[in-house]
Amino acid sequence: MAFSLGFAGLEKSGTFKIDAATKAVIGKPENEIGKAYVLTGNGTVGRGKDGDWIFGIVQTMEEEFPGSGSYVATIAFFQSQQFVPVTGTVAAGDFILAKGDGTVRKYDPSEDEGKPMNYFVINVNSDGTAAIINR
C-alpha cells in the first residue's frame, strides 16, 4: 500500500505521483516494483530518460484513488536496494545511472561526464540481470 502523498519528514522513502509519460507505458503497476525511477517534476517521478540520475527504487505502486486512472508510488532512497534490473554489464563498485526503462546502466565517463553519480553497485547476480545498489 502506498502512503499518502506528502513530503514532511522524508527520510528513507516517500510517495510521489507517476508522471504521464511513464503511466502511458507501464502496463500493470505491480510490474514496476523494484525499478529505478527519477524525479521528473514537482512531486512527480517516472522512468525518465537514459542518463538521468536515479532518485530511488519503486517499492509499491497503486491507483491514487480507486478509479482515478492516476498512480502513486512509494520510492525508497538513501538505502541499499536489491534485485534492481540492469542493462548492459555492471560490476561491484561501478557508478550507475537510469537507463530510462526502469533499469540501471553503468556510468560512462565519455558520455556522462558531469552528471551526478548518486548510486553505485554493491553486487550483481550470477546472470548479470539484477544488482544490489546503494546510495
Question: Sorting pLDDT into bands at 50, 70 and 90, what band is 125?
Answer: very high
| Residue with the larger pLDDT of the pair 2 and 32 | 32
Residue 106: Cβ-neighbour burial (10 angstroms; 0-12, 13-18, 19+): middle
The model's pLDDT over 53-82, given as tens digits with 9 standing for 90+, comes to 999 999 999 999 998 889 999 999 888 999
The confidence score (pLDDT) of residue 13 equals: 87
Domain definitions of the chain by residue range = 13-76, 81-134
> Other CB atoms closer than 10 Å to residue 88's CB: what's the count?
12
**H helices within the chain, ranges in order?**
20-23, 109-112
Question: What is the model's pLDDT at position 9?
Answer: 55
Model confidence, pTM:
0.89
pLDDT score of 4 more than 80:
no
